[in-house]
Amino acid sequence: MDEYWLEIASPIGRLLLFGTNGSVTRVDLPANGDRPPGVPRPNAVLRRAEQQIAEYFAGRRRDFDLPIAPVGTDFQIRVWNALQTIPYGHTRSYSELAESVCNPQAARAVGSACAHNPLPIVIPCHRVVGADGRLTGFGGGLPVKKWLLEHESEHA
């Protein structure tokens, strides 16, 4: 299976999008990963992701309608699915998310699943905060998490 990639500009820095012929598989935030060697290999799926991410940053898109294929454990997939139910401009705590995946004692495991989310922004792990509302861990760094939450609050 061929892997395609595309580098795009965003208000939070350069993003790398990865995918196959049929789905988006990964979004690397500026703090993560290196640019692949060679020239970008975009395809129609990644161009669609580029457009939707641009609409998100312009405040015109709240939900993504992309074919995605994140790879993870059954528990991670359940958490990533639950993340997609958090409304734009809202947050949930790790413990609330753990309850939503029917495992109220799994707040730390939920945090780990969020940390391993291969599709940040598209699967909005930035909407998860500490029980007291405090911003905690994010692969792109807390300033980026803060920016994303403020952006959504402004456009909600």
Name the residues annotated as catalytic. Answer: 125
CA angle 116, 37, 64 (to 5 degrees): 45
Q: Are 140 and 120 a contacting pair, CB within 8 Å?
A: yes
Count other Cβ atoms within 10 Å, centred on residue 66: 18
Instruction: Please give, one letter per residue, the 3-state secondary structure of 26-38.
Output: EEECCCCCCCCCC
- Exposed, middle or buried: residue 124 (CB in 10 Å: 0-12, 13-18, 19+)? buried
